[in-house]
Amino acid sequence: MNIDKDQIRMVIALFVVAIIAAGVTGLTDIFTRAPIAAAQKLALHQALQQVLPEHRNDPQAEVFSIEDTAIYPAKRANGELTGLAWEVVAPDGYSGSIRILVGVRPDASIQAIRITYHRETPGLGDGVTKNKPWLASFVDQTLTSKNWKVKKDGGDFDQFTGATITPRAVVKAVKAALEFFHSHHKIMLEQASKHSDIAHKEAGIE
Ligand SMILES: Cc1cc2nc3c(=O)[nH]c(=O)nc-3n(C[C@H](O)[C@H](O)[C@H](O)COP(=O)(O)O)c2cc1C
């Protein structure tokens, strides 16, 4: 078999291009990882500010986990818990999953909710992110204060004109968030105060 010089050159050239491409991809990953993580942290910080009651702590620094769910506690300067926030996923949006950050007070009432991820249609399903009165209709509610369905299904929450699927999915997921609190509130409140103790000890406060 005869391999001429041109073929060898071509193989070497392809090899060099592959090495350079792999290097560029690796470097891009290294240089973008930190900014992406920082942007995600900032976005979460802003969403937490919107759903949690007044607090002086950094909820992300005191995060703890219950059944694989990250729980962000809000506390006053004296360590008193004012609320907890966690994300729930509505798997049944019109265009796939919707992520919802739910802020709940220790008395099991909702402080606020915010959509953190969705791919719903602009002008239709994306009302769940933009419709302020609709978002406000969740504030102060508890598991028993509302019939947790959209009006079209006999419940208390509005659907939107031409878009029932998205609000239906969000209402169902927020209800599930309240049910999660109902069945785990003891351990959630315990864990929140334990973390407060650790933070106080680390800061040298007895
Ligand atoms: C292109 C297109 C995009 C749509 N986007 C949404 C959406 O984001 N959210 C939604 O609830 N419904 C959306 N709909 C409407 C739904 O198909 C459905 O008709 C509507 O939610 C009303 O549901 P109902 O008939 O069960 O009340 C969309 C429809 C079309 C044709």
Probe target for ligand 1 pocket from 97, 121, 153, with the most ligand atoms within 8 Å of CB = 121
Nearest ligand 1 atom to alpha carbon 152: 27
Q: Contact at 8 Å (CB) between 87 and 116?
A: yes
Output the CA 131–ligand 1 centroid distance in Å. Answer: 16
What pLDDT score does 192 carry? Answer: 93
Residue 10's Cβ-count burial label (10 Å; 0-12, 13-18, 19+) is exposed
* Stated length of the chain: 206
Output the CA 151–ligand 1 centroid distance in Å. Answer: 16
Give the H/E segment covering residue 144: none
Q: Ligand 1 atom 18: the closest Cα is on which residue?
A: 163
Q: Ligand 1 atom 27: the closest Cα is on which residue?
A: 164
pLDDT in tens, the chain (206 residues): 567 888 899 999 999 999 999 999 898 888 888 888 899 999 999 999 999 999 999 999 999 999 999 999 999 999 999 999 999 999 999 999 999 999 999 999 999 999 999 999 999 999 999 999 999 999 999 999 999 999 999 999 999 999 999 999 999 999 999 999 999 999 999 999 886 655 555 555 44
What pLDDT score does 23 carry? Answer: 92
What pLDDT score does 46 carry? Answer: 97
The whole model's pTM is what?
Answer: 0.85
